[in-house]
Amino acid sequence: MNRNYALKRIIEIPITLLGITLLAYVIACLAPGSPLDMMTDPDVRPEEIEAARIRMGLDKPIIIQYLYWLKNVFMLNLGTSYRTRKAVSGMIGECIAPTLLLTVSSVVIALAVSIFIGIKAGLKPKGFWNEIANVFSFITSAVPSFFFALILIYIFAVRLKLLPTNGMYDNAMDVRFGSLIRHLILPLSVLTMTQIGDLIKQTRAAVIEVLKEDYIKTARAKGLPFGRILRKHVIKNSMAPIVTVLGMKLKFIFGGAVVTEQIFNWPGIGKLLVSSISSRDYPTIMGIVLLIATAVLIGNFILDIIYGLLDPQITY
Amino acid sequence: MKNSIIKKILSGSLVLAIGAATLAGCGNTATSNAGDTKVTSETVESAESATGTGNTVETDVIKSITISSASDWETFNPILATSYYIDFIADQVFDKLVFAEEDGSATPRLAERWEFDEGDSGITWYLNPNAKFSDGEPVTADDVVFTSQLYSRPDITNTRRSIIANIAGTDDTGVELSEKSVEVEAVDEHTVHMTFKTPYAESYVLSQFGGQFFIYPKHIYEGISGDDFNNPSYWSNPIGSGPYKIVKSIDGAEVDLEANHDYFLGDPDIDYLYVKVYDSANLISALQTGEIDYTEDIPVTDVPTAKEDTNLAVESTPSTWVEAVVINNSDPLLSKKEVRQAINYAIDRQAIVTTLLQGEGVVKYVPYADNSPFFAADVEYPEYNPDKAKELLASAGWDESKTVELQVTTGEEQLAVLVQQYLTAVGINTNIQSYDFTTLISNIRATGEYQLAFMSGISALADPDKPASWLTTNRSYNFAWQTDTTLDELYDQGRVLVDDASRKEIYAEVQRQVIEQAPISYLYTNNLIVAHNSKLTGLSIGIFGNRNWKIHEWKLAD
């Protein structure tokens, strides 16, 4: 990768972040309702609500509020949540690990399964694996994640009484690995299943494309064993679309699986985002937006580098 | 050729199998298998470590129950919280002076007895000398004095401050007039006296101090700065004198409470409480599998399933949570009281309670509970009468070509459709619009951009002044955008009256005016429905509405 290009990309990141966060703040403020609307206790007086408005800085114009927030961010302070009055960075910090555990595992497993099935399916277009691939991709693309979740809950929790459906552990004091794994199974299955469909289709298509290439024919003509062709050429060259897909998955990986986390009460970023939006907790919303945007921008930059390494023909 | 046919059959059957599994998942549960109960027995070693004693060998099983909460709690310091979800936890960690009972009386908690002064101008509390905080220090009169001062400090954000607003030495809102001016003094080590600004009805005083007056330990929190107090991070583990203490929590998801076996009112039978946030849709399956043992949030539609399960028990009691149609009195279409009265006559409340709530509710026309001492039985109610409604509309010159918009929170669509039917039937064309709660509340309170809307809130039991904030123009929430001040005057008068007879009269007049002016159309109160593991006994469900649970009396059978 050309040094100038790299520099240009690196400088673009903070500028894009600025644009994203400004837009997010303006939209959040323009949405009807404000954090003060959550103070619905009948004994709270109008003066207290006014005082709260001033304390939160909500009496100032939106752009000024945004600049205050930005100033704090430069000082590495994400502010204080309106809802819990805790530091936003702390709240996000506690939620990020559960989310990453769930999302990264689901991506890894989905990739492993999809690449395996996709390659098998691509090698023999009329074979058994191709049929499997079709079935999987049809079902998992058509069925929404919450429906999957409800079916799994019904089968494995209500009927078979095998697996738990709530939280990360049996209870907070009992933080054992075994308990975590049991609690992880259902949400992980849901997330993995919803991703497999598309991944299989893309891997299979990539494999089919690569197999048509001249250099594959050359390798076979040279008499190379097919296993070696597979490993050295087919797999490596089919990975480019996968890298692209990974880039698109970054926002899912850091943003959390909102619906699944809600259903299974998984204490992650997705759940935090939902409760922040419903209570118009601007600092937390902004913190999460910043997190996801930064992760996506930096992640895509890194993936573009990898992309270039995978395919030397690609130069920037 | 043959191979590919076989493969097609195989893959076809796979699709069918998955389809069948999916459809099976759609079926209704008839009866479920007997669920496992949630008593966890552990070995003797854990029993010892849990109670912390190295000497005595405890051979009891460790009992724990899991309780669901509809939402997470913002903080463990109850006076900082703006929502009520913390109340359950706070009732275990802290003590209040008394338990507020269903009928407006009170039973001893931190105070073992109390005496009102002559003319109800004050009260003396005699504290139970056996009460101790979870760190072993005794609860004394100084702690009650300290708590009162804490409640009245202006530098402390306190959403429950109004409780002490009637104690002398504070301003209208309960803030102290000068440092420590609140007139609460320790007569001796276990006796405290409070002086009131104006005499207040005894039932009201007891419900206030049995409600949200949590006693904080002076020896821990004395000298705390306002910033520290208002900072929730400071409160990850508050010290109180209650039957349980917090041992572990996962932010936004769960809190684990351990019993205080030295609790002065009795050693709780249940050793651990696990309070977890649960989505209401998951509650019935969680109850059936035994994942949770107790919930107050079960949807009415899941109640029959719960009742069929022999491992579960379902109990209900009337609550003070009232559902109402708030009317924008300032909207030109709705400003005539005849139109609003018509709305009252148009709605068949009993049918709604029967069909929507499956009987788990009480029809209400006024925001006063049936068993409130201030409930006026002789008020004439606008019972369901569509003809009368049409008459009223005609007399007000209602234009049947007009449409009104009914705004509701997402999730309330079923009730919305019923109300829409009733209104349309008398000639008030209604459109339904659903929003998230924050937007709705903003429309009602901040901008007034609504015509009809659903709101729910607390109706009055012991404190007849409670509904005033919605029904007056000069208090916090003029939701109905009223301009008429009749109710303002009545409520202002009621606040300063002393003797029961004249108070009852004033509030009876309030109720008559609520019907006459019809600024808000009250519909019903939801019953509090508790679904729990049938091995859990000793629940005094009637008092749960007052935010005390007496969990130290609960028993879990083996």
Residue A131 and residue B8: Cβ atoms within 8 Å? yes
Give residues 218 to 277 of A whose Cβ lies within 8 Å of B: 262-263, 265, 267, 271-272, 275
More confident residue, B311 or A226: B311
> Hey, is the C-beta of B8 within 8 angstroms of any chain A C-beta?
yes
Q: Is the pLDDT of residue B19 over 60?
A: no
> Hey, is the C-beta of B477 within 8 angstroms of any chain A C-beta?
yes
Residue from A42, A51, A49 nearest B477 by CA: A42
Residue A158 and residue B29: Cβ atoms within 8 Å? yes
Chain B neighbors of A91, CB-CB under 8 A = 251
Confidence of residue B60 (pLDDT cuts 50, 70, 90): low
> Hey, is the C-beta of A151 within 8 angstroms of any chain B C-beta?
yes
Looking at the partner chain, which of B4, B230, B250 has a beta carbon nearest the beta carbon of A172? B250
Give, to the nearest 10 degrees, the angle between helix A62-74 and helix A282-310: 60
B194-212 burial, b at 16+ Cβ within 10 Å, e below that, comes to bbbbebbbbbbbbbbbbbb
- Average pLDDT, stretch B138-158? 91
Report the alpha-carbon distance of residue B421 to residue B429 in Å, rounded.
Answer: 9
More confident residue, B495 or B382: B382
pLDDT of amino acid A169: 85
More confident residue, B251 or B107: B107
Residues ≥6 apart with Cβ < 8 Å to A178: none
pLDDT of amino acid A140: 83
Provide the token pair at A70: 């930005």
The pLDDT tens digits of the residues spanning B114-129 come to: 999 988 889 999 999 9
Task: Report how far apart, in Å, the C-alpha atoms of B128 and of each of B12, B135, B192, B552 are.
Answer: 75, 17, 12, 16
Report the alpha-carbon distance of residue B92 to residue B75 in Å, rounded.
Answer: 15
pLDDT of amino acid B100: 85
More confident residue, B103 or A190: A190
Report the alpha-carbon distance of residue A43 to residue B476 in Å, rounded.
Answer: 7
Confidence of residue B14 (pLDDT cuts 50, 70, 90): low
The pLDDT tens digits of the residues spanning B252-298 come to: 788 999 999 999 999 999 999 999 988 888 888 889 888 899 999 99
Report the alpha-carbon distance of residue B82 to residue A44 in Å, rounded.
Answer: 9
Residue A134 and residue B66: Cβ atoms within 8 Å? no
Provide the token pair at B371: 């068993």
Confidence of residue B22 (pLDDT cuts 50, 70, 90): very low
Q: B253 in helix, strand or coil?
A: coil
Confidence of residue A5 (pLDDT cuts 50, 70, 90): confident
Looking at the partner chain, which of A38, A167, A267 has a beta carbon nearest the beta carbon of B82? A38
pLDDT of amino acid B224: 87
Looking at the partner chain, which of B277, B441, B446 has a beta carbon nearest the beta carbon of A40? B441
> Hey, is the C-beta of B441 within 8 angstroms of any chain A C-beta?
yes
pLDDT of amino acid B12: 58
pLDDT of amino acid B39: 33
Give percent of chain B with pLDDT exceeding 90: 51
pLDDT of amino acid B4: 55
pLDDT of amino acid B323: 95
DSSP line for B367-427: SB-TTSTT--TTPPP--S-HHHHHHHHHHTT--TT-EEEEEEETT-HHHHHHHHHHHHHTT
- Average pLDDT, stretch A57-64? 87
Residue from B528, B464, B533 nearest B502 by CA: B464
Confidence of residue B29 (pLDDT cuts 50, 70, 90): very low
- Average pLDDT, stretch A219-248? 79
> Hey, is the C-beta of A312 within 8 angstroms of any chain B C-beta?
no
Residue B250 and residue A168: Cβ atoms within 8 Å? yes
Chain B neighbors of A32, CB-CB under 8 A = 435, 438-439, 442-443
Q: Residue B150: left if φ>0, alpha if ψ -120 to 50, beta else—which one?
A: alpha
Give percent of chain B with pLDDT exceeding 70: 89
Residue from B343, B329, B363 nearest B483 by CA: B329
Give chain B's mean pLDDT.
85
pLDDT of amino acid A40: 61
The pLDDT tens digits of the residues spanning B395-419 come to: 999 999 999 999 999 889 999 999 9
Chain A neighbors of B285, CB-CB under 8 A = 153-154, 157-158, 165
pLDDT of amino acid B490: 92
Q: Is the pLDDT of residue B3 over 80?
A: no
- Average pLDDT, stretch B350-375? 91
Q: Is the pLDDT of residue B377 over 80?
A: yes
Q: How far is A15 from chain B (nearest CA, A)?
A: 32
Give chain A's mean pLDDT.
86
Confidence of residue B10 (pLDDT cuts 50, 70, 90): low
pLDDT of amino acid B547: 84
Q: Residue A223: left if φ>0, alpha if ψ -120 to 50, beta else—which one?
A: left
pLDDT of amino acid B42: 33
> Hey, is the C-beta of A61 within 8 angstroms of any chain B C-beta?
no
Q: Is the pLDDT of residue B71 over 70?
A: yes
Report the alpha-carbon distance of residue A144 to residue B450 in Å, rounded.
Answer: 35
Interface probe, candidates A27, A39, A40, chain B, greatest B C-beta count within 10 A: A40
Among chain A residues, CA nearest to B26: A151
Chain B neighbors of A171, CB-CB under 8 A = 64, 66, 248, 254, 256, 272, 274, 276
Residue A146: count other Cβ atoms within 10 Å of its Cβ.
15
Residue B252 and residue A272: Cβ atoms within 8 Å? yes
pTM for this entry: 0.79
The pLDDT tens digits of the residues spanning B413-458 come to: 999 999 999 999 999 999 999 998 888 988 998 889 999 999 988 8
Q: How far is B37 from chain A (nearest CA, A)?
A: 12
pLDDT of amino acid A42: 59
The pLDDT tens digits of the residues spanning A146-180 come to: 898 989 988 998 888 888 888 888 877 777 888 89
Task: Report how far apart, in Å, the C-alpha atoms of B339 and of each of B331, B402, B426, B429 are.
Answer: 11, 13, 11, 13
Q: Is the pLDDT of residue B31 over 60?
A: no
Q: Is the pLDDT of residue B1 over 50?
A: no
Residue A171 and residue B254: Cβ atoms within 8 Å? yes
Amino acid at B445: R
Report the alpha-carbon distance of residue A191 to residue A111 in Å, rounded.
Answer: 12
Interface probe, candidates B63, B75, B249, B251, chain A, greatest A C-beta count within 10 A: B251
Chain A neighbors of B212, CB-CB under 8 A = none
pLDDT of amino acid A202: 85
> Hey, is the C-beta of B473 within 8 angstroms of any chain A C-beta?
no
Q: How far is A64 from chain B (nearest CA, A)?
A: 22
More confident residue, B109 or B53: B109
Helices (H), A171-278: 177-212, 214-222, 226-229, 236-255, 258-263, 269-278
Give residues 187 to 246 of B whose Cβ lies within 8 Å of A: 230-233
pLDDT of amino acid B155: 86
Confidence of residue B185 (pLDDT cuts 50, 70, 90): very high
Residue B285 and residue A165: Cβ atoms within 8 Å? yes
- Average pLDDT, stretch A259-271? 90
Residue B279 and residue A263: Cβ atoms within 8 Å? yes
Give percent of chain A with pLDDT exceeding 70: 97
Task: Report how far apart, in Å, the C-alpha atoms of A170 and of each of A113, B187, B254, B277 are.
Answer: 29, 48, 10, 13
Highest mean pLDDT among A51-55, B311-315, B468-472: B311-315
How many whole angstroms from its chain centre is CA B255?
A: 19
> Hey, is the C-beta of A134 within 8 angstroms of any chain B C-beta?
yes
> Hey, is the C-beta of A89 within 8 angstroms of any chain B C-beta?
no
Residue B8 and residue A171: Cβ atoms within 8 Å? no
- Interface size A-B, in CB pairs within 8 Å, comes to 175
Interface probe, candidates B476, B491, B495, chain A, greatest A C-beta count within 10 A: B476
Report the alpha-carbon distance of residue B195 to residue B209 in Å, rounded.
Answer: 14
pLDDT of amino acid A187: 94
Q: Is the pLDDT of residue B347 over 80?
A: yes
Confidence of residue B5 (pLDDT cuts 50, 70, 90): low
Chain A neighbors of B437, CB-CB under 8 A = 278
